[in-house]
Amino acid sequence: MKVAIIMGSDSDWPVLKPALQLLTEFGLETEVIVASAHRTPAKVHDFVATAPERGVKVFIAAAGAAAHLPGVVASMTTLPVIGVPIYGTALNGLDALLSIVQMPSGIPVGTMALNGAKNAAIFAAQILAVGNPSIQDKLLVHRQNMVDEVEAKAAKVLADQSF
């Protein structure tokens, strides 16, 4: 099972790299590509059309500004598409968020928060975990690690109550 990460520009990579790292921690295979819905539409089409034969089960698609890439990917496949709007325009990412979240009926894109690539990775893993106990276990470990991190921070604050 593989997750494909597609971004419209290399400038999106710093936002998406943590998603790749998290998917790797979950033991999931990934593919990463830069392809623009507007400038390289044939590349997008070829990547999406051949994804099932490469074992891709879920897409994470990120874009800023007009943010058509997640919707274009969704229009070409019945596989789940998770959209990540990228913060980076004069509109502070609101344009990207609205472009991704306001998909027409019948072409859904699960939309994360602005720059929400980590949640996109977790959501992709959750989709793949349906019927896969190994991935479910890794997600549970991840959740417990978050609990442990919060408790460690809380203990540090309690210990540092000197004035």
Q: Tell me the binding residues.
A: 9, 12, 39
Residue 162 pLDDT greater than 80, yes or no: no
Find the mean pLDDT for residues 7-12. 94
- Residues 49, 54, 56, 59, CA torsion sign: negative
| Domains of the chain, first to last | 2-132 (3.40.50.1970)
User: Which amino acid belongs to residue 157?
Assistant: V
Alpha-carbon span 19 to 105, nearest angstrom: 28
Kindly state the average pLDDT of the residues 89-115.
93
Annotated binding-site positions for substrate: 9, 12, 39
Residue 21 identity: Q
pLDDT tens readout for residues 125-156: 999 999 999 999 999 999 999 999 999 999 99
**Whole-number pLDDT of residue 31:** 98
